[in-house]
Every structure is written in C-alpha cells, then in structure tokens.
C-alpha cells in the first residue's frame, strides 16, 4: 500500500563495501555532555552569524548565541546551559586546519532549557514560518548544511508535486539516518507533514536503500498511520536499489520520480524538493516542541571497538565522542563523513557541528595510503561510473593543467564530488582532489572579479564626482564674480579678471610674500666650495659643467620610452 511501485534509474554509481552492520547493533545513545563545548558560529552555507553573547555571560540550553546574518544564513544556539568562557578563534572541523569564530561554553550540568513553545505554523504566514526555522537554526543534515528555510519555499507555482525525503544513506559506514528511521519514524513523518503543508506538496516519497529493511519497515508503519490521518495515500516509501550514490539529491529524485533536473536549474522548478530524514526530524522538533537544532545523531565507526550512533550536542569535541567507542590503539586520523566524501580533520579536538553525520576513525591498516598516481590512460571507466553523467577524464585533464575555463565547459560545477570516478580509476588518480582544486580556484577568481567590478564602479563614480565638483566650483566662482561686478560697477577693469575679490587678493599677496621669502633664502645660501676660487679652478669647474651637460644631452635619446 505505502510502497512505491515504479522506480527509475540513474546512470553510473559504484558498489563499495558498505560496513554498516557494526554500528546498527546498538540503539542510539545520548553522548554525555563534555566539560567544554566549542560551538562554531558558522555552521551552514551562507553568511557567518553574528555573535550575540560575550565571555562571562550565562546561557541557557537552546539560547540563541549567533544571529543569522541576512536571509541566506542560519542561527546557532547554545547546546546546553552554562557560562560562556570565550568568544574566540578555534580550530574548525575543516580540511584547511584554519580557525574561525567559536563560542566556548562551560556547561553547568543543569541542562536548563529556555522556555520552549511550539510554533503554530498553520496560522502563521509562510514567511514567518521560514523566519522561525531560520532562527531555530534548522539546516539540511545530510551533509550540505544548506539552510532549510530557503528550501521550504514552493517557488514560482506556489506548490510542489513531490516532496522527497532522503533516507537512502548510501555512503559506507554511516548509519545515523538508518537508526533514526528505525527508532523515531513517527517524528520524521510528523516533520514531513509540516513540510508537506508548508510546500503544499502533493505526495511525499521516502527513498530508502534496500539494504535497510528494518528502517523501511518502521517507516512504512509510520507512513500508513499518516495516510490514515490524511485520508489518502500520500506518504509512500520507496525501497531504492543499493548503489552509491543513490543518496545524492539529484540521483534520488531521478530514481523516485524519473525527473532529471537539468544543469543550472533547481528541482523546485520541476515540482520536486528533497530533504534529508534528519532534517524532517529537526523541523518536527523545532516547530512542535519549540526546540532549536542543538544536537544530532552521529555515527562513530571505523577503527573502534564498538561502533555506535550517538545523539551528540553540537560543540562536543570529537575526541570525547570517539573515546566512548574505544578506538583501537593504531588509530591515527579522524574523518568527518564517510570514506567516499569525508574530510580528514586537522586534529581530534575539533567540535561536532551540524554537518557531522559521522566521525570515522581511521588507521593506516583500515585506509591504506593510496598507491602512487599513474598517468590517465583514457579508459573511460570514470565516465561510466559518473552518476552526474559527466566526463571526468576531460575535467581532470583540464583541471590538472589549470585550464579552468575548459574544465568549466565540461560542466565541472555539476560534479557532486561523490568520488565514484576516483574509486574506479585504474590509475589511482585522486580525481576529486583535482575537481575541488579547480572549483575553489574558479570561485576565488569570481570573488576577485566581483571585487574588481565594484572597484571599477567606485572609481568611475569618483571621476564623475570630481568632474561635478569642478563644475560646481566653476559655477560658484562665476556667480561670485558676477556679484562682485555688480558691487564694484565702477571698477570695471577689476571685474574683468576672474576671482578678484579682496580675500583672493589677500591670499595672492600672502603667496607672493612667501615666494619672495623663499627666493631671498635661496639666494642667501651659496654652495661654499664655489667661493674664492682661483682662475684655474674656475676653468676646471666650467669644463666639468660642460661635460656634464654633454653627457646629459647624449643620454636623452636613450631615455625615451619607445627605445
């Protein structure tokens, strides 16, 4: 009844070892509150939020500590009650190893909430609902952390045909969505009900990879209950074939609806919008319980004794989280995300953020260093594996040579960096690294170009302003002269000269006096070694002067720029 009958396919994809069983054995546990929380202010796509608290201030659990900067941004909240120790630069969970502004909170252990009130989105305007979600800090929890309130906009038509809930979770090791769907399916569906109403969506398709039968069963029960309430068969669970990256938004939309969103267009314009199941859960918590997004489910897996899913407060240092799972002694790195798309962390004390769906503990044995890169043999395996139907070998060819324009012509920006191409490459080329390099270079160039355009506009405006000021000055002067002419009608000859007012005269006199002073000063000081010369010395000096003049004359043509 609730199962989706007809499925479509996307091209490419790979089937890596899934390694998911280890972390699904145990239910979700709540990670203990650490001794210090480091909450980065910038956790989503868009502008960095402005800090709202200062060191020494006491904050409550769920209190807003960073305010969304503009509409394309999302708020940040205190994960627990305590005292703000500092607002300072701390190491970020980012490959660069750079720091960014963080709010450091020392928890008081009381877990004191702010007053929580459900939000009545049915009677509020859509804009007000979106503002509420922005201030509740709800962002996409699939990994891209795109502010959800921006996606909850039905677009031009004002309604959607299909709302896709993404529970595919195709990346190896990660099971946070799987266990969430198993344990809290009702809440996810409640979130879906809210989103469906906000988007006026027709049906809700929940895509889950068929290697998660328990999650599919749980979601089907919840969907059936929701269908009874709705009185129609609108919530459907689609069991999609297990193939990486079935959980990519474009790929899942294609599998569930058959719609292929073209290059450069948004799925909304095709009547489809896609959200992660974790996001649906967060929206339910924000709207029905009044709880802002302060924690999420994180899988800890890899080189650990007991892999498990934890509900973790944002700002918890990764080393505290990993310590719960008994990491094996040979562990040497932490990866945020899975082995295909994850990023290696610069240290183990970086905090868990909204984008952290998994902390993968790595070791040389588990992830051996890649063998040396060999030349591309143009076998075309990468093109077969590419789920975005691109030509990875061409993009690689031009990214490698830093010919970015050409790489862009091969639609580099449609690359979702899934890593399928690098996975199948027989020459072991780290293709995605090249794409990331090319993309960030192109972005940097665009930023520079925008800055140059602004500078050009400002410079041209300045020229315009200077010209205008000059004209205004001239006009003023002319008016003044005319006035003077009227006043001193007798002195016609005087009036003929521009700017002959008494104050101008006084100024001129002052300048003349100053010039005169300077001249006398100059005349007074004589070079001392030229005084009292004998005739021979005098002759010598004249000869030298003549030679100097001659040399200067000879040098002149060489100084011309066109030589």
Partner 1 sequence: MSSYLFIILGAVLVNNVVFVRILGLCPFMGVSKKLETATGMGAATTFVLTMACGASFIIDRWLLIPNQLEYLRTLSFIVTIAAIVQLTELVIQKTSPLLHQVLGIYLPLITTNCAVLGIPLLNVSLRHNFLESLLFGFGSAMGFTLALVLFGGIRERLEAADVPVHFRGTAIAMITAGLMSLAFMGFAGLDKYK
Partner 2 sequence: MLEALLVMALGAVVLGAALGYAAVRFRVEGDPLVEKIDAILPQTQCGQCGFPGCKPYATAIAKGEAEINQCPPGGEEGIHKLADLLGREFKPLSAEHGIEKPKSVAVIDEQACIGCTLCIQACPVDAIVGAAKQMHTIVAKQCTGCELCLPPCPVDCISMQPIGESVESWKWKYPVFKINPTQREAA
Rounded to a whole number of angstroms, the distance between the first and last alpha carbons of the chain is 87
Among 434, 484, 495, 500, binds partner 2 (CB under 8 A): 434
Q: Is 369 in the site for partner 2 (CB under 8 A)?
A: yes
Q: Record the tokens describing residue 560, joined without a space.
A: 């011309």
Would you give the distance in Å from CA 10 to the centre of its chain? 28
Host H or E run for residue 257: helix 249-257
374 is a site residue for partner 1 (CB under 8 A): no
User: Does 393 sit near partner 1 (CB under 8 A)?
Assistant: no
Place of tokens 């699904």: 24
Please, are residues 82 and 106 in contact by the beta-carbon 8 Å criterion? yes
Q: Which of 406, 436, 480, 485 binds partner 1 (CB under 8 A)?
A: 406
In total, the chain counts a number of residues equal to: 563
Nearer to partner 1, 224 or 400 (CB): 400
For the chain, the 3-state helix, strand and coil shares in percent, each to the nearest 5, are 40, 15, 40
Per-residue three-class SS string for 274-308: EEEHHHHHHHHHHHHHCCCCCEEEEEEEECECCCE
Using the rule CB under 8 A, is 375 a contact of partner 1? yes
Q: Which residues pair with 113 in a beta bridge?
A: 61
CB under 5 to 8 A by kind: which of partner 1, partner 2, none does 548 bind? none
Nearest to partner 2 of 261, 418 (CB atom):
418
513 binds, among partner 1, partner 2, none (CB under 5 to 8 A by kind): none
Helix axes 213-230, 185-199, angle to 10 degrees: 50
Residue whose structure tokens are 């021979």: 536
- Residue 54 C-beta: closest distance to partner 2, Å: 22
Residue 480: which of partner 2, partner 1, none does it interact with, CB under 5 to 8 A by kind?
Answer: none
Please, what's the b/e burial string for 80-93 (b: 16 or more CB within 10 A of its CB; e: otherwise)? bbbebeebeebbbb
Q: Is 455 in the site for partner 2 (CB under 8 A)?
A: yes
Q: Site for partner 2 (CB under 8 A): which residue of 289, 444, 496, 549? A: 444
Report if residue 436 touches partner 1, rule: CB under 8 A.
no
Backbone dihedral angles phi then psi of residue 467, each to the nearest 5 degrees:
-60, -45
Contact 173, 181 (CB under 8 A): no
CB burial of 544-556 (b: ≥16 within 10 Å; e: otherwise) equals eeeeeeeeeeeee
Tokens of 138: 């709800």
Nearer to partner 1 by C-beta: 138 or 395? 395
Contact between 98 and partner 2 (CB under 8 A)?
Answer: yes
Choosing among partner 1, partner 2, none, which partner's interface includes residue 184 (Cβ < 5 to 8 Å by kind)? none
Q: Which stretch binds partner 2 (CB under 8 A): 31-39, 175-183, 368-376, 491-499?
A: 368-376
**DSSP summary character for residue 351:** B
398 binds, among partner 1, partner 2, none (CB under 5 to 8 A by kind): partner 1
Helix H, strand E, coil C: the string for 385-405 is HCCCCCCHHHHHHHHHCCCHH
User: From the list partner 2, partner 1, none, which binds 436 (C-beta under 5 to 8 Å, kind-based)?
Assistant: partner 2
Which member of 110, 122, 159, 462 binds partner 2 (CB under 8 A)?
462
Nearest to 219 by CA among 185, 170, 196: 185
Angle at the Cα of 310 from the Cα atoms of 304 and 316, rounded to 5 degrees: 90
Between 97 and 109, name the residue whose CB sits nearer to partner 2: 97
Select from 58, 333, 400, 436 the one that contacts partner 1 (CB under 8 A): 400
Site for partner 2 contains 67 (CB under 8 A) = no
- Distance of closest approach, residue 73 Cβ to partner 2, in angstroms: 12
For partner 2, the closer of residues 48 and 241 by Cβ is 48
Ranges within 513-532 binding partner 1 (CB under 8 A): none
Q: Does 397 bind partner 1 (CB under 8 A)?
A: yes
Number of residues that bind partner 1 (CB under 8 A): 7
Comparing C-alpha atoms, which of 75, 64, 72, 78 is closest to residue 42? 75
Closest approach of partner 2 to the CB of residue 344, in Å: 12
**Degrees (nearest 5) of the Cα angle 392, 397, 400?**
115
**Taking the complex as a whole, how short is the minimal distance between the CB of residue 339 and partner 2, in angstroms?**
17
Listed residue (364, 355, 268, 281) closest to 314, CA to CA: 355
433 binds partner 2 (CB under 8 A): yes
Cα 354 to Cα 294: distance, rounded to the nearest angstrom: 8
CB closer to partner 1, 195 vs 395: 395
**Considering the rule CB under 8 A, would residue 403 count as an interface residue with partner 1?**
yes
Rounded to whole angstroms, the Cα distance separating 4 from 321 reads 38
Of residues 400 and 480, the one with the C-beta less far from partner 1:
400
Q: Pick from 109, 120, 233, 461 the residue near partner 2 by CB under 8 A.
A: 461
Site string for partner 2, 389-418 (x = CB under 8 A): -------------x----------------
Identify the residue among 30, 214, 230, 454 touching partner 2 (CB under 8 A). Answer: 454
**Tokens of residue 452, six digits:** 């140059």
Out of partner 1, partner 2, none, what residue 519 binds, judged by CB under 5 to 8 A for its kind, is none
CA distance linking residue 431 with residue 388, whole number of Å: 15
Euclidean distance between CA atoms 180 and 555, whole angstroms: 84
Q: Which of 55, 144, 377, 401 binds partner 1 (CB under 8 A)?
A: 401
Footprint (CB under 8 A) of partner 2, residues 42-61: 42, 48
CB burial class (10 A; 0-12, 13-18, 19+) of residue 57? middle
Using CB under 8 A, list all residues that contact partner 1. Answer: 375, 397-398, 400-401, 403, 406
Using CB under 8 A, list all residues that contact partner 2. Answer: 42, 48, 92, 94-96, 98-100, 364, 369-370, 372-373, 402, 430, 433-434, 436-437, 439-441, 444, 447-448, 451-456, 458-459, 461-462
């Amino acid at each position: 009844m609730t199962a989706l009958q007809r499925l479509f396919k996307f091209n490419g994809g790979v089937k890596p070892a899934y390694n998911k069983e280890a972390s699904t054995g145990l239910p979700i546990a709540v990670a203990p509150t650490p001794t210090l929380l480091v909450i980065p202010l910038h956790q989503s796509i868009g502008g960095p939020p402005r800090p709202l608290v200062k060191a020494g201030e006491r904050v409550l659990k769920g209190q807003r500590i960073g305010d969304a900067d503009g509409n394309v941004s999302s708020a940040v909240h205190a994960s627990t009650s305590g005292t703000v120790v500092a607002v300072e630069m701390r190491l970020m969970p980012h490959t660069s190893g750079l720091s960014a502004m963080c709010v450091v909170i020392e928890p008081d252990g009381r877990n004191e909430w702010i007053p929580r009130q459900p939000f009545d989105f049915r009677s509020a305007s859509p804009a007000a609902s979106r503002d509420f979600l922005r201030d509740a800090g709800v962002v996409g929890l699939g990994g891209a952390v795109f502010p959800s309130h921006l996606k909850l906009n039905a677009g031009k038509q004002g309604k959607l045909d299909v709302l896709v809930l993404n529970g595919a979770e195709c990346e190896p090791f990660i099971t946070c969505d799987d266990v969430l769907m198993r344990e809290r399916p009702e809440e996810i569906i409640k979130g879906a009900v809210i989103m469906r109403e906000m988007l006026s969506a027709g049906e809700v398709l929940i895509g889950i990879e068929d290697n998660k039968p328990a999650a599919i069963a749980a979601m089907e029960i919840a969907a059936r209950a929701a269908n009874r309430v709705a009185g129609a068969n609108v919530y459907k669970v689609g069991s999609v074939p297990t193939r990486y990256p079935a959980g990519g938004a474009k790929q899942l939309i294609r599998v569930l609806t058959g719609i292929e969103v073209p290059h450069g267009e948004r799925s909304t314009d095709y009547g489809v919008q896609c959200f992660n199941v974790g996001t649906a859960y967060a929206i339910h918590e924000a709207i029905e319980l009044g709880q802002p997004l302060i924690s999420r489910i994180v899988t800890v897996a890899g080189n650990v004794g007991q892999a498990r899913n934890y509900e973790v407060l944002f700002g918890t240092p990764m080393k505290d989280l990993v310590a719960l799972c008994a990491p094996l002694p040979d562990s040497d790195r932490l990866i945020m995300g899975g082995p295909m798309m994850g990023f290696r962390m610069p240290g183990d004390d970086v905090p868990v953020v909204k984008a952290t769906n998994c902390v993968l503990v790595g070791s040389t044995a588990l992830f051996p260093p890649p063998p040396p890169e060999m030349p591309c043999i143009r076998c075309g395996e990468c093109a077969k594996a590419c789920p975005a139907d691109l030509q990875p070998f061409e993009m690689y060819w031009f990214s490698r040579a830093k010919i970015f324009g050409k790489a862009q012509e091969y639609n580099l920006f449609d690359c979702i960096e899934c890593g399928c191409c690098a996975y199948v490459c027989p020459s072991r080329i780290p293709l995605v690294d090249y794409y990331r390099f090319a993309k960030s270079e192109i972005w940097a160039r665009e930023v520079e170009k925008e800055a140059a355009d602004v500078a050009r506009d400002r410079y041209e405006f300045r020229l315009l302003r200077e010209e205008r000021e000059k004209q205004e000055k001239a006009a003023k002067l002319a008016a003044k002269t005319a006035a003077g002419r009227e006043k001193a009608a007798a002195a016609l000859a005087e009036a003929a000269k521009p700017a002959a007012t008494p104050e101008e005269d006084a100024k001129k006199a002052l300048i003349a006096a100053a010039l005169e002073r300077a001249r006398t000063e100059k005349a007074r000081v004589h070079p001392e070694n030229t005084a009292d010369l004998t005739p021979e010395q005098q002759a010598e000096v004249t000869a030298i002067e003549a030679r100097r003049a001659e040399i200067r004359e000879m040098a002149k043509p060489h100084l011309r720029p066109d030589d």
